[in-house]
Amino acid sequence: MHAVSVGEVLACLEFARKLRTAFPNSRLFVSASHHRRPRHRRRKLRDIADGVFYAPVDYVWVLRRVLRTLRPSAIIVAETEIWPNLFREVHRIGAGLAIVNGRISDKALPKYLRHRWLFPAVLPAVDTILAQTDEMRRRFLALGAPEDRVRTGGNFKYDFEPRAAAADSPAVQWMDRMRPAPIWIAASTMPPAQTGDIDEDDAVIAAYQRILQQHPDLALVLVPRKPERFDSAAAKRRPRAWPSSDGPP
């Protein structure tokens, strides 16, 4: 299974667990392209995958070496990772090939359409495409995917089973200290996409300062979408933004 980044890995965790349950005697390997937080990926997949590695570059000789080593029965690609040589080589060795949680974003669609001449020669190598929505399904069809192989399968991010956190988890200990204070969680905040856009961390902190006037015991959990922004978000913590100097981190 190939999931490009931490987000895709997390979205596919439940799917990976179901694969292990359905095929207990098969080995499962996960590759990723994103270089950030490799230890986080390995920790999440520790009890699920037999191995986690960086995805090979899309060169035929590299791919053939990896495929000879793994000898996969099936390759499962998450979201929008369309690699022409990989798809052709998987088709050549007779392994199954599927795209799951498929999506083509509004931003990416024009770029894909400009190169639509390429995809009719690549997408027919895929046995099944499970798109997140009907709109995503139509976008894959517009790129040349065979109609009988593209279905709407929903978004994997919503297919999860909540599990209790470990008793020694810092999050659990912090929640115990905060009870019964109300908590506001601002998760997956983003920086400005372009000049003139607002920084969502700044917007949340400004709103929090106003809310504190009527709800002085409210705690804020601010979680930027990208881990590299954690420090910059923490630096915005000002004494006037919290109920007291001993307020939440």
Task: Measure the CA–CA gap between 67 and 200, rounded to whole angstroms.
Answer: 43
**By CB neighbour count within 10 A (0-12 exposed, 13-18 middle, 19+ buried), where does 32 fall?**
buried
* Contact between residue 191 and residue 200 where contact means Cβ atoms under 8 Å apart: yes
CB atoms near residue 124 (< 10 Å): 14
Q: From the candidates 8, 79, 89, 200, give the one annotated as an active-site residue.
A: 8
The CA–CA distances, whole Å, from 9 to 33, 142, 197 equal 11, 27, 29
Written as six digits, the tokens of 42 are: 């390995």
For residues 242 and 234, what is the distance between their CA atoms, to the nearest angstrom? 12
Q: Is the dihedral of CA 142, 145, 148, 154 positive or negative?
A: negative
The separation between the first and the last C-alpha atoms of the chain, rounded to the nearest angstrom, is: 37
Q: At 62, list the tokens.
A: 């590299």
Q: Decide if 8 is catalytic.
A: yes
Closest CA to 90 of 144, 54, 126, 55: 126
Residues marked active site are found at: 8
